[in-house]
Amino acid sequence: MIYTVTFNPAIDYVVRMDRFNKGEVNRTQSEEIQFGGKGINVSTVLTNLGVKSCALGFLAGFTGKAIEDGLKKIGVETDFIHLGNGMTRINVKLKADCESEINGQGPEISQQALDQLFEKLDCLKPGDILVLAGSIPKSLPSDIYEKIMQRMEGREIMVVVDATKDLLCNVLKYKPFLIKPNHIELGEIFGRTLANDDEIRECAQQLQQRGARNVLVSMAGDGAILLDENGEFHKIQAPKGKVKNSVGAGDSMVAGFLTGYLESKDYGMALKMGTATGSATAFADGLATREEAMALLQTLC
């Protein structure tokens, strides 16, 4: 079973218009609601790909209920903790002549609520996969990923971490199954701008030496690089297509990678499926479907 954790979910309110005029009344051309949060995105795409998962995390208020109801409607299994105060945040995504975002803060998460999450995680079984993705709300300790992975240690649970900088580096000692920085985030870890594949590979190897079993580096239109735990180096070019929306593409890559790995136990195939699924989201208005991902998979060598 795959479990995802989203500490600070959101309703993304996406509005589109030709031009945004500051200080004036603006009219939208179209509007849509999306359920945001990196872990939620992973669970949604896994469901689209036909892989069962369970979305964990914290929800509050009427917005939290809307997320839970919406996810259940599309077939995502959920086991959220409902907070007594506050409300799950709303993020406004403005797409006009330039793109802008207004992101909410989200509710306070108490120690009691966090303990409830720990109790749920204590029920995971050997062979389960746990996906930790995204930033940490201010109300939680900055080492929450470390605390979770420490509880997972020695239990044969495969942990995937999609985070940045210290949040990622500090968990490497617990030997996560997979980490997925993009090439810019990878460079930031080492205070460098990575200019070519050799430099990306060098930095990825350093993270692997610190404990990561598999290092997947996404490179947008340039494809992706994978250093697997067997010592193999893989590189794949991205499929051709017009990018419509990059939001959720990295989360889709994680979902596709896990799907490919579970179906084949082959890291090369996992990389192909991850790349196809991430690209399928980038080329669409919403998150990738299995049909879209499989169509792109057929184009990859």
**For residue 58, how many other CB atoms are within 10 A of its CB?**
28
Rounded CA-CA distance 187/78 in Å is: 35
Rounded CA-CA distance 276/23 in Å is: 42
**Catalytic entry in 12, 128, 162, 251:** 251
Element (H, E) at 116: helix 111-121
Catalytic residue at 251? Answer: yes
Among candidate residues 110, 112, 109, 124, the one with its CA nearest the CA of residue 6: 109
Please state, in angstroms and as integers, the Cα–Cα distance from residue 249 to each residue in 42, 55, 88, 245, following that order: 10, 18, 23, 8
- Residue pair 89/40 in contact (Cβ under 8 Å)? The answer is no
Residue 122 carries which side chain, given as an amino acid letter?
D
HSE-up of 109 (CA within 13 Å, CB side)?
26
CB neighbour burial string for 201-225, b if at least 16 within 10 angstroms, e if fewer: bebbeebbeeebbbbbbbbbeebbb
Instruction: State whether residue 112 is helix, strand or coil.
Output: helix
Rounded CA-CA distance 168/144 in Å is: 11
What the block records as the tokens of 256 is 């596709």
Among candidate residues 97, 213, 210, 119, the one with its CA nearest the CA of residue 160: 213
Name the residues annotated as catalytic: 251
